[in-house]
Structure 1
């Protein structure tokens, strides 16, 4: 029996290859996902606003503007999870997508089971973990809001993506202890076989860069060959 995360999830598939779009839509419909497409590729944000999807799947090479452009635009409006598809195999494409706030990346051609595994992992992570009744956490003099995906201290406030807040949450829960890369990857993406090790690195670096705005970037340390640690001195406890 198929394990469906939620039959009511709406997915926006931004893909201009009609044959591939219809194939993916038909396959996802078999998993009870409601899949929408784009009719006018110059009106992506307008259609995104109308549809209000729970997950966006987007190709890099699109008419009018590329997927990176629309990822930037979507991120300026929403923290909805974004999964990139691409036939391009240059490593900088994956790095760029993660830096822009994407949650994951799949290179074409891909096996449909991999796509389903990634979709389900993202949806479980984004829409289930917030059921934790502890929504606010104090860490190093900052308030971490797991519901609003923000970190705030006297220096200001930064908004994190779903991946970034989840990584921070995992590290804070085991503060002053090393959390292995394997544990983080397994928690974030469920099946590490489908994940590039560089994906985690890009997400952690992006998290650090945002925390730098609050003077907290250096508190997350890399332990070479082991993982990461979120430090908290006694004076902050």
Structure 2
């Protein structure tokens, strides 16, 4: 049987991901491109087995209105863009039990996605199912290796730890960071990018995404053109970003 289901698992408020799924569905009407919002994902039933050889097999049964059950053999691609949450039945449990359940659900999602191999848009790590949970400092270091300009800054848990800093006793105890948020961003989807200043920057962004094993990645830049952050599942906002992500999903099936 030919795999013919594309799952886009995203929070209900992630309208950019939903729009990208719609773009892919229009481009490939013969493919079952299925948007599964977080509230439906939380109510999805699982059968997940791992053999003694480490091979995983999974069957997902979705709530009414979200399509037929799906096995691994049905899956052509998964774009996982949500966090695992504790089921509503456990929300009155103790904090320790809720934390344990959330950790187990995340491990389950990671095991399922890892078993799909290259049918997952962003490769999973032990830290989460949506891509590498790297710090901004790690992203900037990887961006530099990829040939991108990187914003140098100083960050410390307390301002008093920074040589030469001066200020009030209150500010001395507060975290200190000279790196501000992004003012411009580039979205990579596959081997293409939108929002890049030039071809060299686009190539560097694609190289960073490849190093992170993220086929869809958002990279943030400051006004001087230095990378300040990257996010495996930043919101898709512009029509260009939605079109690029949707076209990528369609081309991968």
Q: Which structure: greater helix fraction?
A: 1
With structure 2 as the length reference, what TM-score do the two structures score?
0.30
Higher relative contact order (CA closer than 8 Å, sequence separation 6+): 2
